[in-house]
Chain A
Amino acid sequence: MAQHSAPLSRSADPWAAFGRLVAGVAIYGALGWVADHWLDTSFLLPVGIVLGTALGLWTTFTALRQA
């Protein structure tokens, strides 16, 4: 116990990137799907999935840059 170890930073969890991507696709994909049903369109689901992926990637990059 002589050596003092600081805790890892929060973003060190490698699965955080996976979680963010999955969550992004799931939420914005679901929102797109719901919007498609309401508006009687068919292009909002893929738009939501792409947007969710982009947001998940962006969050991962931003969080890692802070670490």
Chain B
Amino acid sequence: MISADVSRAEGFTPPGPGDFDLQPLFGGTYAFAKPGLQLILAAVLVLGFFVVTSRRAAMVPGKAQFAGEQAYGFVRNSIARDIIGSKDFMRFVPYLVSLFFFLLLNNVFGLIPFLQFPSFAKASFAYALAALTWVLYNGVGIWKHGLLGYLKLQSIPPGVHGPILLLIVPLEFISNLLVRPVTLALRLFANMFAGHLLLVLFTLGGEYLLLEADQVLYKPVGVVALLLAIAISFLELLVQFLQAYVFTLLTAMYVQGALAEEH
């Protein structure tokens, strides 16, 4: 009896990495699918939001301008200024603000009906974004310290002297120039990927148990699964915000590290 039930439950196809290979919308060799469209949409929305809220800037801000300034001020003050310091931070504010809201929108797309896919659940997108951060902080460091000075800054940790440097320098170099961008991309990608997979599992599983499984006893379980899917959506909202925040915060930290005075 139990084995018969199990075999019936096997009519359900569990979600897997295959669910992330979306049908291309158009294009052959360079196929263009929904995540790519979402990147463009997010860029347009972020640009539109800040243009609309700052176009007619008044001394006494209206509602729209207030919202725009709050959004901008959050990244400017609590990420850029607090991390990079008030001497150098203004030059990086435009990039950090764009980065944060671009990421936030792309992540939240995971919950928006009809889009329902976090763009950065595509690993290649996350790696490309981390590459931008990598180019930024290395560029800034080389510009400030010169190539040799920068390599010295990034490969000699503070407070390490003497022959042990021979062992530490390669470690610190790999840690700062290779591990950093990889973990930056992986953290974003894995969080978005896992969150989407979890949502797909709970919604598809709940739907299957409720409507397609021919066991009456499965139906309440399906209802519970669908309720859990809603709860997980709220959790995902938090994760989506946090990942956008962490990515931007770490970008600011790396820039600050590259600008730091030699010790």
A interface, CB within 8 angstroms of B = 1, 3-13, 15-16, 18-20, 22-24, 26-28, 52, 55-56, 59, 62-63, 65-67
Which of B83, B179, B256, B259 is close to A19, meaning CB atoms less than 8 Å apart? B179
Q: Is the Cβ of B256 less than 8 Å from the Cβ of A8?
A: yes
- Interface flag for B124 (CB, 8 Å): no
Inter-chain residue pair count (beta carbon < 8 A): 88
Partner-binding segment picked from B61-69, B154-162, B189-197: B154-162
What are 23 contact pairs spanning A and B, CB under 8 A? Answer: A5-B85, A6-B85, A7-B84, A7-B88, A11-B157, A13-B257, A16-B175, A20-B171, A20-B175, A22-B175, A23-B171, A23-B175, A23-B178, A24-B175, A26-B179, A27-B171, A27-B174, A52-B171, A55-B168, A56-B171, A62-B160, A66-B158, A67-B158
Interface size class of B (residues with CB under 8 A): 20 to 34
CA distance A8 to B25 in the complex (A): 46
For the complex formed, measure the closest distance between the CB of A1 and the CB atoms of chain B, giving whole angstroms.
7
- Interface flag for B81 (CB, 8 Å): yes
For B253, what are the chain A residues with a Cβ–Cβ distance below 8 Å?
A: 8, 12-13
CA distance A27 to B175 in the complex (A): 10
For B83, what are the chain A residues with a Cβ–Cβ distance below 8 Å?
A: 7-8
For B85, what are the chain A residues with a Cβ–Cβ distance below 8 Å?
A: 5-8
For A67, what are the chain B residues with a Cβ–Cβ distance below 8 Å?
A: 158
